[in-house]
Amino acid sequence: MSAKDYYYYDKQENEYVRVDNNELNRVVYTVSTWMLFGVLVAGIGLSIFSFSIGTPAEIALKSENKALKEQLLATQTTINSLNNQVDQLAQTDNSLYRSMLGMPKKSIDERKGGFGGADMYSDFDIYSEKTADILKETAKSLESLEQSIDIQKNSFKKIKSYYHKNIDRMSHLPAIKPVNGGIISGFGQRFHPILKYNREHSGIDLEADVGSKVYAAADGIVTNASRDGSYGRLIIVDHGYGFKTYYAHLSAYAKDINSGTRVKRGEVIAYSGQSGLATGPHVHYEVHRDGEAVNPLHFLIGDVTPQQYLRLKEQAESSKISMD
């Protein structure tokens, strides 16, 4: 039997009968058979590939989901940064504005407030566990941030209202720097460069060349304008409401500034220098409340922003050596 011949079995005759096909039919049959086999194999391969890798639409969707997750994680980082900034404002609110005005401080719990229960974000459970967790955390963070901002806004409104109700008291509050320079040394324990030991530094040292203008920090009455030991030339202003300010190491007093002179906030009262026990020209500035020296930084709200205040605070804390 030829390999090129095709036969079928005749049951009636009980024998194989050769099929008479011409060469063209045989070729068409063979090619068709192999094409069908190839299509079948390709279909199986595509099915396996699609199952393991995904269709083009599925691949695009996976890529998009990955990008969205990365963006959500980046958003969480931004939200955390904003939360930190709100916390800094809250600290300034408590330690500076409320403390200065004598208003009660707001606790962290009051400032954070409260928000919905566990079922608030159950809508996200239709997604994968990881995606749902990211969405829930982002939503919670955003809601917490919104509430903190609203609470801080309300706090500032109350401070503003209190300020306007106590406008006379505020005009007598030492709320500006007496000179334009930065802070050389802060309040508290400092090493004295001349006496060579640590001692309490009752004020802050401010940069000022000899002859720089020195301004009254608030409305008040001059109670002292004379030399006073290690202070050198000194001015003391009584502002009422328990507040006094000291300006030391002066080179000269402004015209008509004497004991008993009434001064206004921002009025020139003296000129900076290096008189008394000092290692260089500057202004030593003190704030006393009810007879006790307090940190002048806590009252500098009249001419600095919260950001500038934080920079001044950093300057004050960076040096452990005083100039007087």
Report the SS3 class of residue 91.
helix
CB count within 10 Å of CB 323 equals 24
pLDDT for residue 283: 96
DSSP state of 95: I
Q: At residue 2, does pLDDT exceed 50?
A: no
Question: Token pair 């005009």 is at which residue?
Answer: 171
Per-residue confidence band for 249, with pLDDT thresholds at 50, 70 and 90 = very high
Q: Which of 2-6, 85-89, 171-175, 218-222 has the least mean pLDDT?
A: 2-6
Q: Which helix (H) or strand (E) covers residue 282, if one does?
A: strand 282-289
| CA separation for the pair 40, 60 (Å, rounded) | 27
- Same domain assignment for residues 130 and 13: no
pLDDT for residue 221: 97
- Same domain assignment for residues 82 and 207: no
Q: At residue 1, does pLDDT exceed 50?
A: no
Domain membership of residue 176 (yes or no) is: no
In order, the DSSP letters of 180-195 are SS-EEE-SEEEEETTT
- Same domain assignment for residues 76 and 98: yes
pLDDT for residue 58: 64
Q: Domain range holding 33?
A: 6-53
What share of residues in the chain are helix, strand, coil (percent, to 5)? Answer: 45, 25, 30
Report the SS3 class of residue 235.
strand
pLDDT for residue 195: 75
pLDDT for residue 239: 95
As a whole number, mean pLDDT of residues 153-178 equals: 80
**Which has the closest alpha carbon to 21: 2, 42, 39, 44?**
2
As a whole number, mean pLDDT of residues 15-32 equals: 63
As a whole number, mean pLDDT of residues 205-231 equals: 95
- Same domain assignment for residues 133 and 260: no
Boundary-marking domain end, from 135, 165, 195: 165
- Same domain assignment for residues 189 and 309: yes
| CA separation for the pair 209, 181 (Å, rounded) | 9
pLDDT for residue 3: 46
- Same domain assignment for residues 242 and 136: no
Per-residue confidence band for 279, with pLDDT thresholds at 50, 70 and 90 = confident
Per-residue confidence band for 56, with pLDDT thresholds at 50, 70 and 90 = low
**Which has the closest alpha carbon to 179: 155, 212, 204, 223?**
212
- Same domain assignment for residues 156 and 190: no
pLDDT for residue 266: 94
Predicted TM-score of the model (pTM): 0.53
Q: At residue 39, does pLDDT exceed 70?
A: no
Express as a percent the part of the chain with pLDDT over 90: 28
Render pLDDT for 75-108 as a digit per residue (tens, 0 to 9): 778 777 777 777 777 776 766 566 666 667 766 6
Q: At residue 38, does pLDDT exceed 90?
A: no
Q: Which residues of 231-251 are buried (b: 16+ CB within 10 A; e: fewer)?
A: bbbbbbbbbebebbbbbbbbb
- Same domain assignment for residues 212 and 235: yes
**Domain count of the chain?**
3
Domain membership of residue 1 (yes or no) is: no
The residue with greater pLDDT, 86 or 218, is 218
Domain membership of residue 237 (yes or no) is: yes
Q: At residue 294, does pLDDT exceed 70?
A: yes
In order, the DSSP letters of 26-59 are HHHHHHHHHHHHHHHHHHHHHHHHHHHH--HHHH
Domain membership of residue 303 (yes or no) is: yes
- Same domain assignment for residues 155 and 194: no
What pairing do the DSSP bridges indicate for beta strands 220-227 and 292-294? unpaired
Render pLDDT for 189-200 as a digit per residue (tens, 0 to 9): 888 777 777 878
Q: At residue 215, does pLDDT exceed 80?
A: yes
Structure token digits, residue 42 = 């390709």
Structure token digits, residue 243 = 């507040």
Highest mean pLDDT among 34-43, 266-275, 313-322: 266-275
Domain membership of residue 324 (yes or no) is: no
| CA separation for the pair 250, 232 (Å, rounded) | 7
As a whole number, mean pLDDT of residues 174-200 equals: 85
Q: What is the mean pLDDT of the chain?
A: 79
